Structure 1
Amino acid sequence: MTTTRWAILGPGAISADFAVGLRASRFGELRAVGGRSRVRADAFAGQHQAAVSGTIAEVLERDDIDAVYIGAVHTAHAELARQALEAGKAVLCEKPATPSLAETAAVIDVARTVGRPFLEAFKTRFGPFAARVGDLVASGELGVVTSVDAAFGFAAGTREGRLFDSSLAGGALLDVGCYPVSLAVQIAASAGDVTSPVTVTDASAVMVGDVDGSIRGELRIGGVSATLQASIIEALPSSARIGLTDGEIVLPDAWGSRTESAREIIVRSRGEERRIEVPSVQPMAAEADALSLAIAEGRLEVPEMPWSHTLAVAQTLDVWGAAATDE
């Protein structure tokens, strides 16, 4: 493996977490930072020891950049991804890939056309925890999957800024609701189906201005019934339960953090309970390395988060959001 030379586009808070995580990667190094503001890009590059900084266009023109991480606001993802792919760079794009299924499909079409890898950065998909959960479901040892119940929510310190700005695709659904959706898609895929249309039987939201402060839904994704919740105005348990015909899988901490992946899995079946501990990894380093492997092996997709899953997540977010009524 040769070193993957990374650029960060969008020098914000989550990009700072990625820059720190990249230091733990096996194959990557931060080379450049690009932003709309040269001053911010210069400051970020200095803070995180990147050799080069400049405007986004200047960074994408460089031939010493192999991959870019997009950590800008949701509404900027699609255009930045298109520009980067057309400049010949592999792309790791922070979740959600874009605010809509149509935009996400268009980005994937560009990646396919230009022949460069594109990966949606769901950190929860990478490492031993996600792999073990998927294996438990796919093995059939607990029977057939019937349901997924999952929640992710926190109380924001203020009701201003990006999270509460509809013009920047703010709201609970896109900011944290995508995590429970991604898990439900992973489980549906492990059980064999993410191609069926998503249906919603019930959905509601608590609005804060014109964005969803909290949202809940009863959905069907593939052959799996999903009860999902998300909030940016109240703390919710960061847990999940996967129901199967012969038992259940409980994830006390389903999402981990930006520095450590989750590690505990509880399996209950036939009156018995066992706890499984798996090693934790730096999840942002793991997703970066997954893209590096795709580059090295000439693949456009990454098995932990293939394009079919990215499209299924985008479809589910579209359908759930459209169906939610104001409580």
Structure 2
Amino acid sequence: MERTRWAVLGPGEISGFFARALPRSEHGVLHAVGSSDAGRAEAFASRYGAPVHGTYDDVLARDDVDAVYIGTVHTGHAPLAIAALEAGKAVLCEKPVTPTAAATAEVLAAAERSGRPFVEAFKHSFGPLARELRTVVQSGEIGELVSMEAAFGFAAGEHTGRLFDPALAGGAILDVGGYPASLAVAVARWADRGEPVLVSAEGTIGETGVDVEAVAVVDFGGFTAMLRTAIVTAMPEEATIVGTRGSIPVPDVWGSREESPARATVRGDSGERVIEVEPVDPFAAEADAVSLALAEGRREVPEVPWASSAAISRILDEWRARLG
């Protein structure tokens, strides 16, 4: 299998984690860096050893770029993803795909037309623990799915920058609320449950006009998920999946930017057992998922298929709308 030649579009903090992870991937290598600021692209390329740098258009016009990682602010995702897909590149896009369900649909339509892989980068989905959780849910060990609770919240030190800027689609729901929403969508998909319906939503709008804390309840045809998120309050980053015959508490469910989550407990009729797996670098795992899709001629990956990205986007969009 040939190495996938990656370009980073948007040389910011999150893209640095991707660039550092690529040497730990099995199939990828950093080849190019693109930015709206040529100086930033050059500095990032020098730091991480990419031989090519330039503007977004420069990078996307190159024949020696196979895939792009998009790490810009949320509002920059859609135009870059569509341009990359139209240029024949595979795309790994940081979450959320876009700030709205309508714009996400446009990106997925572009992916459909292009025939190239498109993947939303929810890092906790790319690792051995996610596969183990899917196996447990589908085995019926905890019975029929009943409910789930999941949270991702932190207290930002400064209430400035993109997180608190409405023009850059700031706020808790889009920044970290997608994590519990994506897990709920995944669990419902594993059990063949229905499409998400937002039952209730509440939260707090901060001084800058973005949501800073929020709670939502989503129903998937009898499987109900409570989702909590914040950017002004620390929350335990954990989830609990509940069935008619047991439950699965998952501490540290999102892992970190260096290691995927590695531990969960299964409590059922036969007692309690612990699942422990070897963590992986989630950014490297995301990159390899795209590389394998390219090699096998697939446009989607099983970890986050397009239908899941569309469902997540609808939840986040309506959640934000309910808060005004």
Structure 2 length-normalised TM: 0.98
Instruction: Please tell me whether the aligned partners of residues 19 and 48 of structure 1 are also in contact (alpha carbons under 8 angstroms).
Output: yes
Instruction: Please tell me whether the aligned partners of residues 200 and 323 of structure 1 are also in contact (alpha carbons under 8 angstroms).
Output: no
Instruction: Please tell me whether the aligned partners of residues 142 and 242 of structure 2 are also in contact (alpha carbons under 8 angstroms).
Output: no
2:128 paired with 1:95: no
Tell me the alpha carbon deviations over residues 231-278 of structure 1, each in whole angstroms, 9 at most, x when there is no partner: 111110000000100000000110000110011111112372221101
Letter of the 1:200 partner, please give it: V
Q: Which residue of 2 aligns with 1:123?
A: 123
Q: Which residue of 1 aligns with 2:269?
A: 270
Instruction: Please tell me whether the aligned partners of residues 198 and 216 of structure 2 are also in contact (alpha carbons under 8 angstroms).
Output: no
C-alpha RMSD over aligned residues: 1.2
Could you tell which deviates more after superposition, 140-149 or 269-278? 269-278
Tell me the alpha carbon deviations over residues 15-49 of structure 1, each in whole angstroms, 9 at most, x when there is no partner: 00000111110000000000000000000000000
Q: Which residue of 2 aligns with 1:14?
A: 14
CA distance in 2, matches of 1:197, 1:172: 20
Shift of 1:2: 0.6
Instruction: Please tell me whether the aligned partners of residues 188 and 223 of structure 1 are also in contact (alpha carbons under 8 angstroms).
Output: no
Q: 1:48 to 1:216 in 2, by over 3 A?
A: same
Q: Which residue of 1 aligns with 2:236?
A: 237
Q: Which residue of 1 aligns with 2:183?
A: 183
**Structure 1: 5+ residue runs without aligned partners?**
none
SS at match of 1:316: helix
Write 1 or 2 for the structure with the bigger share of strand. 1
Instruction: Please tell me whether the aligned partners of residues 176 and 230 of structure 2 are also in contact (alpha carbons under 8 angstroms).
Output: yes
Shift of 1:223: 3.5
Instruction: Please tell me whether the aligned partners of residues 91 and 119 of structure 1 are also in contact (alpha carbons under 8 angstroms).
Output: yes
Shift of 1:202: 4.0
Give runs of ≥4 in structure 1 deviating > 4 Å. Answer: none
2:189 paired with 1:158: no
Letter of the 2:303 partner, please give it: E
CA distance in 1, matches of 2:105, 2:201: 26
Could you tell which deviates more after superposition, 289-298 or 214-223? 214-223
Instruction: Please tell me whether the aligned partners of residues 239 and 253 of structure 1 are also in contact (alpha carbons under 8 angstroms).
Output: yes
Aligned residues: 324
- Superposed, which structure 2 residues align to 1:1-327 within 5 Å? 1-194=1-194, 196-270=195-269, 272-324=271-323
CA distance in 2, matches of 1:210, 1:15: 27
CA distance in 2, matches of 1:200, 1:102: 21
CA distance in 2, matches of 1:31, 1:258: 22
Structure 1 length-normalised TM: 0.97
**Structure 2: 5+ residue runs without aligned partners?**
none
SS at match of 2:206: strand
Shift of 1:197: 4.5
Letter of the 2:237 partner, please give it: S
CA distance in 2, matches of 1:2, 1:37: 31
Letter of the 1:201 partner, please give it: S
